[in-house]
Amino acid sequence: MAIAVSSVADTCAAAKRAARTLAQTDTAVKDAALEEIALALESRLEEILIANERDMQLAREADIGAALLDRLRLDEERVVAIAHAVRQIAALADPIGEVISGQRLPNGLDVRKVRVPLGVVAVVYEARPNVTIDAAALCLKSGNAIVLRGSSSATHSNAALAQIAGDAAVAAGLPDGCVSLVSGGGRQELAELATQRDSVDLIIPRGGEGLKDALQAVATVPVIYAASGNCHVYVDAAADLDQALAIVLNAKTQRPGVCNAAETLLVHERVAADFLPRVLGALAAAGVHVRADERAHHAIAPSGAIPDLIIEDATDEDWATEYLAPIIAVGVVDSVEHAIEHVARHGSGHSEAIVTRDTAAARAFQLGVDAACVYVNASTRFTDGGEFGMGAEIGNSTQKLHARGPIGLRELCTFKYLVEGDGHVRA
């Protein structure tokens, strides 16, 4: 059984032992294990849905809100999609052993820089049980053991999924301890996990600012923060307004409770009077609440009342808020430079978009905005490992060192130098 370990320290130690074997495991064995995990998810669907319904019932009683309920919910379609993502990961090229660079030095030494696994990756995440499988599949394919710690709201779902994945992986020939789950214990357990320097090589937290703050206070293990997304769409003076309307609606309403959903709409003052009544009316029809600055209020005033529009005054706090809800902040700016300045002040470095037909404006936005993903004429909702061809992701990093953007197979690797000589000694 891959899940039954008694304490955080014991769990991590078992994962470390498994990682040593995984680092030397052939691609074919890893891929076969992922196929077994996908098959197990499909064959044990009813068990997964029963566990998830227990979590959903408790979450409804706790009134956690529509966005978090959506993150928590599993149904047949979502479980099938999770299994499909596992197969997509299995079909990807194995990054382990990939030669990043190589050369023969003047002294005759052959030097190769090759990808190797990190070792043990701990993933701490909130509410989304699909992360259990996405993270496990990515780690196993990249030769890493994984220690999972989900939130209390998904206790039953995560336990079922981790048990299924762990059992299938071990049955297919991967080492015991390659997939582990720790649960319960609250912040004390989190602190213990975050200080397992002898056995855990990396922690990836996937959650809100509270989780980030809690880890920053205690972690001695290296951390890549899969951080929040305060994402913007800027509609430039040279935008195709029909494209802009479709992009804004998709970025805000397609799934409001995720980190790559747009939270702020910025509109150039030259198109504000034409565009804002259209887009705000469409957003209102989709149930989105609007918090607008004074210039946006002024731009829509001549159009008269927009049916069903709920509009409030935007505050300084709104510009910095990741709503994860059907709420959007709306502002009017004078130029692409002002839009870039606004993003620099309030953005989280996740995903930012410009809609424009002006090549110079697009280039200025691409160069001026400091974010993991910068879009031209496309929705921010594409920031996703699956959409980027990675099969899945563990999260989206807004950091700049080691990994930035979707965390996929290569982001779960480090490298080593392999140096070969023929009796060489240094003079």
pLDDT for position 5: 43
pLDDT for position 305: 59
Q: Where are the beta strands (DSSP E) in 32-98?
A: none
Alpha helices in 240-380 (DSSP H): 241-253, 269-285, 294-300, 316-319, 336-346, 359-368
Instruction: Tell me the average pLDDT of the chain.
Output: 93
Residue intervals in the chain for CATH 3.40.309.10: 231-382
Residue intervals in the chain for CATH 3.40.605.10: 8-226+394-420
Instruction: State the pLDDT confidence band at 210, using cuts at 50, 70 and 90.
Output: confident
- Per-residue pLDDT reduced to its tens digit, 50-92: 999 999 999 999 998 887 898 899 999 999 999 999 999 999 9
- Per-residue pLDDT reduced to its tens digit, 22-61: 999 999 999 999 999 999 999 999 999 999 999 999 999 9
CA distance 217 to 220: 9
Tell me the average pLDDT across 220-248: 94
pLDDT for position 307: 60
pLDDT > 70: what percent of the chain?
A: 96
CA distance 337 to 392: 34
CA distance 222 to 32: 31
- The residue whose two tokens read 């929705």 is 379
Residue type, 247: I
Tell me the average pLDDT across 250-279: 96
CA distance 329 to 115: 43
Residue type, 102: G
pLDDT for position 228: 80
CA distance 125 to 61: 21
**Left if phi > 0, otherwise alpha if psi is -120 to 50, otherwise beta: which for 106?**
alpha
Q: Which residues pair with 111 in a beta bridge?
A: 103, 419
Q: Where are the beta strands (DSSP E) in 318-404?
A: 327-333, 351-355, 373-376, 396-397
pLDDT for position 2: 45
DSSP H or E segment with residue 419: strand 413-420
Q: Are 34 and 87 in contact (CB under 8 A)?
A: yes
Q: Which residues pair with 115 in a beta bridge?
A: 415
Token pair of 104 as six digits: 């023969």
Indicate whether 6 pLDDT > 70: no
CA distance 161 to 165: 6
Distances (CA, A) of 51 to 89, 103, 159, 216, 268: 25, 53, 8, 32, 49
Instruction: State the pLDDT confidence band at 4, using cuts at 50, 70 and 90.
Output: very low
CA distance 37 to 292: 48
Lowest mean pLDDT among 195-199, 293-297, 321-325, 393-397: 393-397
Indicate whether 17 pLDDT > 90: yes
pLDDT for position 315: 94
Of 291, 297, 138, which is closest to residue 206 (Cα–Cα)?
138
Indicate whether 225 pLDDT > 90: no
Start-to-end C-alpha separation, the chain: 54
- Per-residue pLDDT reduced to its tens digit, 344-382: 999 999 999 999 999 999 999 999 999 999 999 999 999
Instruction: State the pLDDT confidence band at 211, using cuts at 50, 70 and 90.
Output: confident
pLDDT > 90: what percent of the chain?
A: 81
- Per-residue pLDDT reduced to its tens digit, 257-270: 889 999 999 999 99
Token pair of 379 as six digits: 């929705």
pLDDT for position 257: 85
CA distance 260 to 382: 8
Q: Which residues pair with 405 in a beta bridge?
A: 397
- Per-residue pLDDT reduced to its tens digit, 104-162: 999 999 999 999 999 999 999 887 899 999 999 999 999 999 999 998 899 999 999 99
Q: Are 122 and 135 in contact (CB under 8 A)?
A: no
CA distance 343 to 404: 18
Task: Give CA angle at 42 (40, 45), nearest 5°.
Answer: 100
Instruction: State the pLDDT confidence band at 303, using cuts at 50, 70 and 90.
Output: low
CATH superfamily assigned to domain 231-382: Aldehyde Dehydrogenase; Chain A, domain 2 (3.40.309.10)
Of 193, 187, 144, which is closest to residue 5 (Cα–Cα)?
193
pLDDT for position 194: 95
CA distance 364 to 358: 10
Give pTM, 2 decimals: 0.86
pLDDT for position 308: 61
- What fold, for 8-226+394-420? Aldehyde Dehydrogenase; Chain A, domain 1 (3.40.605)
Tell me the average pLDDT across 384-388: 90
